[in-house]
Structure 1
Amino acid sequence: MTSLTISKRLQTIARYCPEGARVADIGSDHALLASYLLVKGIASFVIAGELNEGPFQAAKKQIHTLQVKDRASVRKGNGLAVLEPGEADVVCIAGMGGQLIVSILEAGLPKLEGVQRLILQPNVGEEAVRRWLLNQGWQLVAETILKEDGIIYEILVAERGVPTVPYENKDRPQEDLLRIGPFLWEEKSEILLEKWSSEAEKWQKVLLQLQRSDKPEAAQRIAEIEREVKWINEVIACLRTDKP
């Protein structure tokens, strides 16, 4: 079987896939993760789902080069519609917005029957994903934050369980930890500090623009952003002083 090189982001996702699992990768990005899981002998079977014809054909071509047709299935369809209930142990959804990930999970709830683990990598909107997991009975069991090619990514791993557990007995309220990430908050990495420092800079720029505005609605928006900046700066201060 040929060797395969994938990004650090996808390698991190792959590490969260249990050995021998049947893995469905939804929005598979040319089936690179699915291929890697087969090449490394991690997954026993992979399903690569694609919505559009171009990526679907590219995924089929990629899987074909591995000559593992009996252990892989490339399917065209919207989100979890490519799955049958009980067909996968692990579902990966990576490289799209958090709200889109939530909508895919919500629309495909019946297809999650038998799924033991979700591995989710939202490009933005991590809070929306954590909130959905909390409300749907999925317990966060791990989080990773990493930087690759100048972009910061968060990977969330959840299993069926008691969804409030990761947020209990922490030094910050649940609402804060839904935004920051309970495991990321415990780790307090330099990358997490970089992420929130960047957020603070972004909102400061917006604030400066609004302060130059003479529109009547600007005052209310300024007050909202000032509260946001104050919250972020307090988070940053804690990240700087509470290093493990």
Structure 2
Amino acid sequence: MNNNLRLSNRLEKIASFIAEGTTFADIGSDHAYLPCYVCLHDRNAQAIAGEVRKGPFQRAQKTVSHFGLSNQVDVRLGDGLQVLQDCEVASVIIAGMGGSLIKTILDEGSDRLGSVEQIIAQPNIDEQSVRQWLIRHGFTIADETMVEENGYIYEIVIGSNQGGIQELTEKQLLFGPYLLKQKPELFYQKWKHEHDKRARTLEQMKKASVPDDKKITAFTNELTWIEEVLSDDNGYA
């Protein structure tokens, strides 16, 4: 059996949060690299690789077959969490898509989350939507991290149903409670870029023939928050 499978930095970081021996689902698994990687390194793990499109579904099947993991990785064709039965997995991974889509997948499949103790989400954008969903549905934010890949900076949010409901401010929802405390170097890189992008957007909004005062206020508040959290960086002006 060939077990020479390497993951991208982003997927490897996600894999590091999956506890040993866990039964988990990777939703939108594409080639099923993530579940195969985990199961190659953990013979007690069991995985479900879900794909909504036939092409990626077939690619995932080929990957599982190539690595001889058909007894550990079950590839299923279906929409989001609909590939799961209730109380079937302890952990769900949804990575590589927008935060609003992740939220929709969780909403539409909420009846399949009865046994889920952990949700690992890696939204490409709109991370606050994911945090909001987790908090509103009884999960806490258990951890967060950032990773850079191919010039993009990604946030990984770990939700847990252990410990009750966590209250977060709007500022914490935007930046992430752990990331806001830790402020790794990637945090500064991301939010300097976001500050400049939002400042340009705000100027365009103000020049609109009919300015949206509500959106302008929201953007202005966020820009103020960004300037505050970046103020610890002496290089920021």
TM-score computed with the length of structure 1 as normaliser: 0.88
- Does 1:23 find its partner at 2:24? yes
Deviations 1:2-40 (A, max 9, x none): 210110111111110010011100000210101101111
**Within 2, Cα distance between the matches of 1:46 and 1:74?**
8
User: For residue 216 of structure 1, what is the aligned residue in structure 2?
Assistant: 209
Paired residues of 1:143 and 1:184 also in contact (CA < 8 A): yes
Supply the AA of the counterpart residue of 2:170.
Answer: E
Q: How far 1:71 sits from its partner (Å)?
A: 1.2
Q: Which has the higher helix share?
A: 1
Paired residues of 2:146 and 2:153 also in contact (CA < 8 A): yes
Over the aligned positions, Cα root-mean-square deviation in angstroms equals 1.8
Paired residues of 1:37 and 1:43 also in contact (CA < 8 A): no
Paired residues of 2:22 and 2:91 also in contact (CA < 8 A): yes
Paired residues of 1:18 and 1:42 also in contact (CA < 8 A): no
Write out aligned runs for 1:31-50 (5 A). Answer: 31-41=32-42, 44-50=45-51
Classify 1:52/1:216 alpha carbon distance in 2 versus 1 (closer, same or farther; 3 Å). Answer: same
Q: Equivalent of 2:197, from 182, 199, 202? A: 202
Runs of 4+ deviating beyond 3 Å: 207-211, 218-228
Supply the AA of the counterpart residue of 2:166.
Answer: T
Structure 1 residue runs without a partner (length 5+): 168-173
Q: How far 1:102 sits from its partner (Å)?
A: 0.8
**Within 2, Cα distance between the matches of 1:112 and 1:16?**
18
Q: How far 1:72 sits from its partner (Å)?
A: 1.4
Q: How far 1:205 sits from its partner (Å)?
A: 2.2
Q: Equivalent of 1:233, from 220, 227, 236? A: 227
Write out aligned runs for 1:40-189 (5 A). Answer: 40-41=41-42, 44-161=45-162, 162-164=164-166, 167=168, 174-189=169-184
Deviation larger for 189-198 or 199-208: 199-208
Aligned partner of residue 152 in structure 1, secondary structure: strand
Alignment coverage as a number of residue pairs = 231
- Does 1:193 find its partner at 2:192? no
- What is the identity percentage for the equivalent residue pairs of Structure 1 and Structure 2? 38
**Within 1, Cα distance between the matches of 2:121 and 2:131?**
10
**Within 2, Cα distance between the matches of 1:87 and 1:56?**
20
**Within 1, Cα distance between the matches of 2:217 and 2:108?**
36
